[in-house]
Structure 1
Amino acid sequence: MPALAVFVLFFLLVTVMGFLASRWRRADNALHLDEWGLGGRSFGTWVTWFLLGGDLYTAYTFVAVPAAVYATGAAGFFAVPYTIIAYPLVFLFLPRLWSVSRVHGYVTPADFVRGRYGSRPLSLMVALTGILATMPYIALQLVGIQAVLDVLGVGGGESANWFVKDLPLFIAFGVLAAYTYSSGLRAPALIAFVKDALVYLVIIVAVIYIPIRLGGYGHIFDAVGERFSAPKSAGSLTVPENKQWTYATLALGSAMALFMYPHSVTGVLASRSRNTVRRNMAIMPAYSLMLGLLALLGYMAIAAGVGKGDKNFNTQLSVPQLFENMFPDWFTGVAFAAIGIGALVPAAIMSIAAANLFTRNVYKEYLRPAATPADETRVAKLVSLLVKVGALVFVLGMDKQAAINLQLLGGLWILQTFVSIVGGLFTRWFHHWALLAGWAAGMVYGTWEAYGIASPKTKHFGGNAAEIPGIGEIGYIGLTAFVLNLLVSVALTLVLRAVKAPDGPDETRPGDYSAEGGDEAPENAPEPVAAH
């Protein structure tokens, strides 16, 4: 089968690259978390661009965004405006985070929170939230690989026993775990070049070749309009008036959450300089153009009759099935390789980011404060393996819809760290106990609201939109929880400042937030003191 042969060829190529990455820009001391977990903080503009692209635009993006468009129509395009909003937004604060992290050697956002507020509980909260939100995200990358393998017919079919059926997934997992353990962040950084090149190639070919086969874009939109105008249709070509608040709040909330994820921060902190971060935020919108074209594949799948007449059709398979139906066999293998490698790169970065959080903000902070950099690196390597094992168990043991629901919940959770991280980059006014209370309020409210949402496939966590209190419109729960988080943080800070509650020490200085690479605090600078 040509498609399978091409897929395996590319998989072997990136496997070799993953192991060779340990020799790429090899450091004098590889047993340091800066080296294993951040690639030596040495990546220039293009490496960082490919790394962030490989990190943010995952196999789940490749599968789920067109699947959402396939199922709901215009509502599925929310991912396009949210990425357009995200990059100007993060341009304002990511250079500041890079600078202060370089000066103080921070590896994780929780490190920064610990230094800024002098609060171990607040730092632990940020770390655990990051790990919690990342786990289902890693699982969904394995779901993406599994979707491709299903369409390829690999694994012996439904009649095979569970081990034979999932053996290809075990192999992919084993390879991912091995080269991540060996090469750290350098492995996904190197493989990202192949992944992004394949993704761009496949999408450019798809948006030209598939419409030609289907009779042009006019025919595609006619077919989509006919489907969504049918009685009881769940989708539409435009966002209905009663769903516009949901669309807008979901786009804004997702944009705010995007660079709160630990893997996004890891890609930024691996950059060589402050200007590298700025340049990347200026050129990353090129991926938004790619994302818009990718979303159109959902409409092409409708026009191609993918899943037509099958009430039990898994919409997550709409794009893989479209590729198999439309492309020649050999190019189907290229397309599937793009999706498969698009899962390996972010899964590696996510597991590294989660391992960094546990090592720096749980292990070193609470379990072994005297741990050396070499100890930290060894623990991070082991934790990265455990994280991937957990994701694999999650995929094999739970319904795929549950994985998707939990990933949506992860976006809600990670958004609740925004006030502590971004607020701390600009002001020391917030009191750390108020931030902790605000985080708890947002987490409890958001999780409880999401728990009460049912869908045809699940009784709980069946969606991410609910009525906004005081407005009456239906909006993104995560953004509503964030507003509650912010209000509680502000109100309690006013109270705590009024009663002169003691605050933790701030180890940062104003100049740290604009420092370039290699800048150090002056030797005669005064010791940092608590803010008043």
Structure 2
Amino acid sequence: MNVALIITAAIVILAFILGMLSGRKVKMNLEQWSVGGRNFGTLLLWLLMAGEIYTTFTFLGASGYAYLNGGPVFYILGYGALAYAVSYFLLPPIWRYAKEHGLITQSDYFVKRFQSPWLGVLTAVVGVAFMIPYTELQLAGLGTIIQISTGEAIPTSWSLIIASVLTAVFVYASGLRSTAWISVLKDILMIVVVLIIGIGLPLYYFGSFGNMFAAVHQAHPHFLSLPGGSKNLGIGWFITTLILTSLGFFMWPHAFGAVYSSKSERAIQKNAIFLPIYQILLMLIFFVGFTALLIVPGLKGSASNGALLVLSVKAEPSWLVGLIGGAGALTAMVPASLILLQAATLVSRNIYQAVIRPEASEETVHLLARILVLVLTAVTLYFALFAPNLIVNLLLTGYDGVTQFFPAVAMSLLWPQRTNKIGAASGIIVGVGLVMILLLTNHDPLWGVNAGFIALVANIVVTVVVSLATTRAASPAIALQEQGQD
């Protein structure tokens, strides 16, 4: 019997049970299902935000990026900390506004703030377009994790199907609460696993972190500096990518919407203080990637994403590999569940109710959102199984794309009397359009600068110019300095 498979399966089943039980005594309406009744305290909000932010990327992408590119990987360490600093000031006024007006989704903010249902439709369409491939990425990562950690004891297709069905069912039943409670299990496992492999593997093979860095430098002299193993990820790219990703960190619709679940703005600010602790874990993941570079060389392209798992299988006992597989599976299921929930709510509330059937009741919108979770899961699973390469180019635009929401959000807070719906919509359209053009024509970076940053600058200019040239915004200013109570 495959020990790793048994442990991985047990963790996934335990997560499913937690998800189902989380909403057992709660009467579900749209607000309870989608934003948890707006009563998550500091700890649960911390776990939820960490659960949605630290995904299969933590297990696969970060170590694989370190394995392939070396020095440029350190931007990942910086942008999270910068993003939390931004969130300390940006998110509390958004939370206040959302609570005051009963907002459920990110697009609700645009609708209410700019008095424009069509701006809500635009942001919903853009948001869903970028979230679907992001969900597919989680499933693809899940397949890699299960395949390598269990020694291919279970076919990748079946692991994807089973995990997708379980995720869809607990989201359908319990909504955001299921994601939050599974995040508790996921975070405990992830911290344990990352500490074990992030410290243990480098010390096992090299004796110390210093020896590891010395060995990498000796084998690949310029690997740990910019541009590392790449040809064009230099200082300009590094700085502009840091700025872009720190501003766009909470512009993902599922991250933006999760803020509404907080019971107070003080809880949000505490999270901004404590969440950077997770960046330490990312550093340990980099160490695993550097270790794998020397111990299991030759992984090319997307195969490098399995560097952490390949090295772990080579060095660790089966029970620990199973623990790694289970923790890795949850890093896919938790963010996938939140993305599916937010995408379904965006479609049902900001497209169906806003445009197709304005008279639809909250109960109807809630039911449709739950059904759409199943539909979107099926669509995402199809891409993951049969046509993953069809959306790879769209996936590349994801972070750059959602960051184009930032100018409209920031200006609605800082320049509310002049920023209007025409300027906001124009900026988003120009920004997203430019991102698509630059990335799909392989012009990233362009002149040594991140393509998304170039689009963001164009977005800001267009938003300002068009807002100044058109009618004043009618919506009131939102206070930035007011402090909430725990």
TM-score band, normalised by shorter chain: over 0.9
Q: In 1, Cα distance between the equivalents of 2:281 and 2:15?
A: 22
Matching residue of 1:420: 408
Out of 176, 180, 183, the residue aligned to residue 167 of structure 2 is: 176
Matching residue of 1:160: none
Q: Is the 8 A contact 2:393 2:440 kept in 1?
A: no
Matching residue of 2:327: 338
Instruction: Report the CA distance between 1:505 and its aligned residue.
Output: 4.4
The equivalences for 1:50-449 within 5 A come to 50-153=47-150, 166-216=157-207, 217-229=209-221, 236-240=223-227, 243-303=234-294, 305-306=295-296, 308-309=297-298, 314-399=303-388, 405-428=393-416, 429-449=418-438
Q: In 1, Cα distance between the equivalents of 2:480 and 2:358?
A: 25
Q: Is the 8 A contact 1:438 1:484 kept in 2?
A: yes
Instruction: Report the CA distance between 1:21 and its aligned residue.
Output: 1.1
Q: In 2, Cα distance between the equivalents of 1:165 and 1:329?
A: 19
Letter in 1 for 2:62: V
The equivalences for 1:31-50 within 5 A come to 32-50=29-47
Deviations 1:60-104 (A, max 9, x none): 232101100000101122111011111111211100000000010
Q: In 2, Cα distance between the equivalents of 1:309 and 1:124?
A: 46
Q: Answer yes or no: is 1:489 the counterpart of 2:463.
A: yes
SS at match of 2:23: helix
Instruction: Report the CA distance between 1:480 and its aligned residue.
Output: 0.8
Q: In 2, Cα distance between the equivalents of 1:114 and 1:310?
A: 47
Instruction: Report the CA distance between 1:367 and its aligned residue.
Output: 1.4
SS at match of 2:144: helix
Unaligned runs of 5+ in 1: 158-163, 230-234, 454-462, 468-473, 519-532
Task: Give TM-score scaled by structure 2 length.
Answer: 0.93
Q: Over aligned residues, Cα RMSD in angstroms?
A: 2.2
Q: In 2, Cα distance between the equivalents of 1:484 and 1:310?
A: 38
Q: Is the 8 A contact 1:3 1:329 kept in 2?
A: yes
Deviations 1:455-507 (A, max 9, x none): xxxxxxxx74222xxxxxx11111110100111111122222xxxx4x5642x
Q: In 1, Cα distance between the equivalents of 2:439 and 2:202?
A: 39
Matching residue of 1:521: none
Instruction: Report the CA distance between 1:11 and its aligned residue.
Output: 1.1
Deviations 1:434-474 (A, max 9, x none): 22122221122121111111xxxxxxxxx74222xxxxxx1
Instruction: Report the CA distance between 1:53 and its aligned residue.
Output: 0.4
Unaligned runs of 5+ in 2: none
SS at match of 1:314: helix
- CA distance 1:510–1:10, shift in 2 (3 Å): closer
Q: In 2, Cα distance between the equivalents of 1:509 and 1:83?
A: 28
Structure 1, 202-211 or 101-110: larger mean CA deviation: 202-211
Letter in 2 for 1:3: A
Task: Give TM-score scaled by structure 1 length.
Answer: 0.85
Matching residue of 1:522: none
Instruction: Report the CA distance between 1:3 and its aligned residue.
Output: 1.2
- CA distance 1:414–1:511, shift in 2 (3 Å): closer
Q: In 2, Cα distance between the equivalents of 1:146 and 1:100?
A: 40
Q: In 2, Cα distance between the equivalents of 1:361 and 1:151?
A: 40
Instruction: Report the CA distance between 1:426 and its aligned residue.
Output: 2.7
Letter in 1 for 2:286: A
Q: Is the 8 A contact 1:103 1:512 kept in 2?
A: no
Q: Is the 8 A contact 1:434 1:493 kept in 2?
A: yes
- CA distance 1:165–1:318, shift in 2 (3 Å): closer
Q: Is the 8 A contact 2:143 2:160 kept in 1?
A: yes
- CA distance 1:440–1:10, shift in 2 (3 Å): same
Q: In 2, Cα distance between the equivalents of 1:444 and 1:337?
A: 39
> Greater CA radius of gyration, 1 or 2?
1
Q: In 2, Cα distance between the equivalents of 1:517 and 1:387?
A: 38
Instruction: Report the CA distance between 1:510 and its aligned residue.
Output: 4.3
| Higher-helix-fraction structure | 2
Q: In 1, Cα distance between the equivalents of 2:74 and 2:311?
A: 19
Instruction: Report the CA distance between 1:300 and its aligned residue.
Output: 1.5
Instruction: Report the CA distance between 1:338 and its aligned residue.
Output: 1.0
Letter in 1 for 2:439: A
Letter in 1 for 2:206: G
- CA distance 1:403–1:291, shift in 2 (3 Å): farther
